[in-house]
Structure 1
């Protein structure tokens, strides 16, 4: 059975009424037959039937044993970090999401956890960064925002050989394109706000573990700390997942066209998209993913914050906003938005230049999006200095 068909039919019909849409159990507590005897639920922080459907669905999507839904992507990351203790170390991707960087360095570092940031697109650098205290390897692949690709299978072997957990942030690819657990990862994390939800109308996070024992540990943390996903938001993620494969197919096709257009434009310095043969990790992405995703990043030849800001505010269809993965195309400037919390020198060392722009490709027609970018780039060229105009001509 094909993945899309299997997904649609793994969402259960309500056994009580036959409703094809999962019911929203908007309740905080459940009546018990006797003290400690119930129908599987006692208090909604510990478990809710709507959330349970989503969590089981997440596990099936990623090919794992345990799925857990959180109130945000950062809450999901926080729960994983709580597996560690003082003295432990994390080896993390250098081009990391700004929120994760802030959480690791400004919250967990003060509790005695050390983080080493390395270019994980080179497995050898991961290997050399590991010490006897390393307990967790943290990957994003593709990364946010320079779309570096890490070889999950190769790094999983390194992690196993060194008795480390491997967690992969699969937000950008989604399980429609990539399944890290089948490649050897122990944990997958998502900002379900993005492609899983798919409609820019909720905040949610997800964790899936390969083994039940590890899932039980994170489930304990979820219940003990309480950052659970509400019933209505759980229903929204379920609804979004129903069209996940269809949406990703279109996101990928349009992103490829946009990336190829940008690569040829004289005002563009560099395009970051794994679907381009010029991408340094194109073959790895091709090996471990069914598609290259809906995010395209690029830098301008006018490598200034001002040029990037002018461009990001001159598009019509691409709306200037945080987040990604929705049906409407968005544009962001990482240096002043999503990655502002990362020091400038670290941002630039990881490849996040001042002029880097990130596009989240929506479901509009590719031709319309390209025309919008063309008009914005033309405007930017007109605003350039005469010498630069001559160079860009």
Structure 2
């Protein structure tokens, strides 16, 4: 059997700040198979982007410190080998970021930015041979050929008048247009593994749908493997083969998308799904409290201060290990043990995990969020 394209094993990452040591990732484990789309979901601040940047090799160290763990790409450990990680990142990985204006320079045209990516992709850094090639005019191909390639990429992103767009600056384009350009840039050099870090968060619902369609179409056409990071549960269900639910720097539940959404087992997953307002009656419920303080996280399960199924002396004594709660479906929770059948875990979840609905719901915001599949803002922070 072929190795998974990405494996993350017991990844622990801390940050040293003026406030103290933030123990953010607390033993993350996830696997992405070849050609698979995996969604990493959870509240804002739970460690999703830190996980993605760690896999991509773009996490700044310091202030980040890798305390333990491994990241394997096609079976090769890269986290502890910066040269191998850099080579894999340049040759086989790519990333779509959340905010286009952060990653598109305001002082260069779209054509200049795309052409530089095409020319210098695969370069490990500025070198005398590379600088000499640039000075002599051999920096990566004929200008007309590069421009033609850029036009075709923008056309594939369904951008009208691609020739004109290449001559514009980022500030002259809409948010949806800039996001399409980021996608084109991420796919420019035919990566094998793609990380999409909440690429539709800042866009309105109709543009979100268009961007998601473009991403999934290209992923299917090119047989890419993808990690899609999002707090939008509707998006995760729509595009993912498998779901990893993250809370407080831990993976608390994982499994095929339909099973996680139809039969959630972890109290946090149940709470997330029940937080989505319903169009019929708008009787969504929420999760009281907020994500843990990473300088002083709770002992044991980090969700225990907010959990309706909290068991004193157990949930706060040790970290729960993942338990099989169905076919290829796991939950890290003391409600379950290895001896239970899937049917027994369903009975436990139905009996012990309940959330009280919040009667105060904003009709307009709730309807919008329900359509978009968003977790309400008060439950993200």
| Range class of TM-score, shorter chain | under 0.3
TM-score for both structures, normalised by structure 1: 0.25
TM-score for both structures, normalised by structure 2: 0.25
Relative contact order, higher structure (CA 8 A, sep 6+): 2
Compare the two structures and name the one with the higher strand fraction.
2
